[in-house]
Amino acid sequence: MQNQEILQSAADQARGLAIDAIHACSSGHLGLPLGAAEVGAVLFGQDLKVDPSDAQWINRDRFVLSAGHGSMFLYGWLHLAGFDLPIEEIKNFRQLHSKTPGHPEYMETPGVECTTGPLGQGVANAVGMAVAGKMAAAHFNTAEHEIFNHQVIALAGDGCLQEGVAAEAASLAGHLALDNLTLIYDSNDVTLDAMADASQSESVIDRFAAYGFNCILIEDGHDMLAITDALAQARSQTEKPTFIEVKTTIAKGIPEVAGTAGGHGEGGAKFAESARQGLGLPEETFYVSDDVRSFFESRKAQQVESRQQWDATFSAWQAANPDKAALLASGLNREVPADLMDQVQVFAEDAKVATRAAGSQVINDLAKAMPLLISGSADLHGSTKNYIKEVGDFTADNHSGRNMLFGIREHAMGAIVNGIGYYGIFRPSGATFAVFADYMRPSVRISALTNLPIFHIWTHDSVAVGEDGPTHQPVETVSGLRVIPNLDVIRPADPEETAGAFVAA
């Protein structure tokens, strides 16, 4: 059987898995898993550089499903590709304690790179991962050994790209010329309530071109040769991120709802039996053919072999660069120097120093002790005082810089910092005024939910802000942050407490 034929069979069987899983629990979203099945077939069947036997391989391509409600897309392909996600977990979709929750959750499912709940977060998370990938290459690659050279690919829908956080993050990604980032837009012209043109009329692809992306339009999103060609163009891009608009039919495979708002959710699952017949699948539910199983087993063997070749390069790099290897290991293991408190400024009990000024000294001391510490700000470094001196800014031309200039993009800052945290090497942070913490609250909540090793710095809280007036005097924000489960909120009152707070973070 030719490659395209087996990939088409895999796409239709992935559709079948989604239909059966959602039908079994009477809950979920069919639209994306069915509409983007050919995208999944090309990604997992031939494009992504991953090792299904080791989902945490550090040089893997990162695939982010930003449209997390379409989770059966990701679960179906992870299962077929040979990740540790057996068919029993597919059958337990959306059940308590299963590895297939309603929205993808970080560290719960092998192959899931991040928790994508609120739409648009995954787009910004992917930007953060692309930033981290560039940082990792700058910090650890050498002329003799290239150990970081992977891609970050995100799949987003109309809903994701209507969200402000995606726009903020995409604008920054284009500015930073992140050529290791590809954003695939599942453009099916449908939202939950109605057709997409009821709430949007701009040309999304032109908007991304204006951001500075290399833009590709695929008129037939079910043409796998076109998808293959577009992804190859993205991988060869060396100057800017790539945006691929893929025109798909939502819920393709269920004629009763395909191409309509009714195909977005679980409503089409009631047509499961006729849909299975139309897709050429047998009556057996959760069916995967021997041919498709065999194809992905061969594909996995090839991926493992490629990984082993990288392992040889990595071993040679370790032997030649013991200091870099130790630093990388410390980042991956989230290590913090045991004597960190001894390495920061000691303030006198009666020191008359503002907490943010004290924080400036402390974060610079921490940066010397922790070379993987990253500090960013939403255009307020001069006020939040968290700029790290003598380490440079991360820019399109300087990937070793450790200061992130997020611009006035608080929500994107929160989600991009999360993306750097998901990457697993660096210890990132972001800063703004406390009143703007509400602009980034969804990202803050997700970071707490996922136990990410990150920290936020919020300054200028309460009435003490003074002349800026009540719009910038948040008296309720700290309390609002403290009710977020698993978020430690520390409000230091003097320089000594500030030092302790930074070390604790």
Task: Please report whether residue 153 resides in a domain.
Answer: yes
pTM across the whole model: 0.97
Task: Please report whether residue 455 resides in a domain.
Answer: yes
Task: Please report whether residue 326 resides in a domain.
Answer: no
362 and 245 share one domain: no
42 and 144 share one domain: yes
Report the alpha-carbon distance of residue 426 to residue 423 in Å, rounded: 8
Average pLDDT, the chain: 95
Q: How many domains does the chain contain in total?
A: 2
pLDDT of residue 2: 63
Residue after which a domain boundary falls, among 304, 332, 357:
304
Report the alpha-carbon distance of residue 328 to residue 425 in Å, rounded: 7
140 and 239 share one domain: yes
Residue 4 phi/psi, 5° resolution?
-65, -35
23 and 124 share one domain: yes
Task: Please report whether residue 309 resides in a domain.
Answer: no
Task: Please report whether residue 327 resides in a domain.
Answer: no
Question: Residue 436's Cα: distance from chain center in Å?
Answer: 23
Q: Which residues lie below 8 Å from residue 416, measured CB to CB, with a gap of 6+?
A: 124, 125, 127, 128, 131, 169, 172, 376, 404, 406, 430
295 and 345 share one domain: no
pLDDT of residue 1: 44
Three-state SS at 83: coil
97 and 200 share one domain: yes
Condensed to tens digits (0 to 9), the pLDDT of residues 70-100 reads 999 999 999 999 999 999 999 999 999 999 9
Report the alpha-carbon distance of residue 104 to residue 93 in Å, rounded: 11
Helix (H) or strand (E) holding 15: helix 3-25
Report the alpha-carbon distance of residue 187 to residue 158 in Å, rounded: 6
Task: Please report whether residue 319 resides in a domain.
Answer: no
- Using alpha carbons, select from 179, 235, 222, 236 the residue that is nearest to residue 397: 179
Residue 392's CB is within 10 A of a number of other CB atoms, namely 13
Tens-digit pLDDT string for the chain (505 aa):
468 999 999 999 999 999 999 999 999 999 999 999 999 999 999 999 999 999 999 999 999 999 999 999 999 999 999 999 999 999 999 999 999 999 999 999 999 999 998 999 999 999 999 999 999 999 999 999 999 999 999 999 999 999 999 999 999 999 999 999 999 999 998 887 878 888 989 999 999 999 999 999 999 999 999 999 999 999 999 999 999 999 999 989 888 888 888 777 767 778 888 888 899 999 999 999 999 999 999 999 999 999 999 999 999 999 999 999 999 999 999 999 999 999 998 888 888 898 999 999 999 999 999 999 999 999 999 999 999 999 999 999 999 999 999 999 999 999 999 999 999 999 999 999 999 999 999 999 999 999 999 999 999 988 877 788 888 888 899 999 999 999 999 999 999 999 999 999 9
Could you list the residue range(s) of the whole structural domain that residue 380 is in?
A: 340-504
What type of residue is 474? Answer: P
Report the alpha-carbon distance of residue 272 to residue 274 in Å, rounded: 6
23 and 110 share one domain: yes
- Output the domain CATH number for residue 493: 3.40.50.970
229 and 348 share one domain: no
Contact 22, 263 (CB under 8 A): no
Task: Please report whether residue 125 resides in a domain.
Answer: yes
Contact 477, 456 (CB under 8 A): no
Residue after which a domain boundary falls, among 255, 276, 304:
304
Report the alpha-carbon distance of residue 161 to residue 148 in Å, rounded: 29
Report the alpha-carbon distance of residue 474 to residue 467 in Å, rounded: 13
Task: Please report whether residue 321 resides in a domain.
Answer: no
Residue after which a domain boundary falls, among 283, 304, 325:
304
Q: Is 245 a catalytic residue?
A: no
359 and 285 share one domain: no
- In the set 38, 89, 113, 410, the catalytic residue is 410
Place of tokens 């960013």: 376
Report the alpha-carbon distance of residue 86 to residue 92 in Å, rounded: 10
195 and 271 share one domain: yes
116 and 224 share one domain: yes
281 and 362 share one domain: no
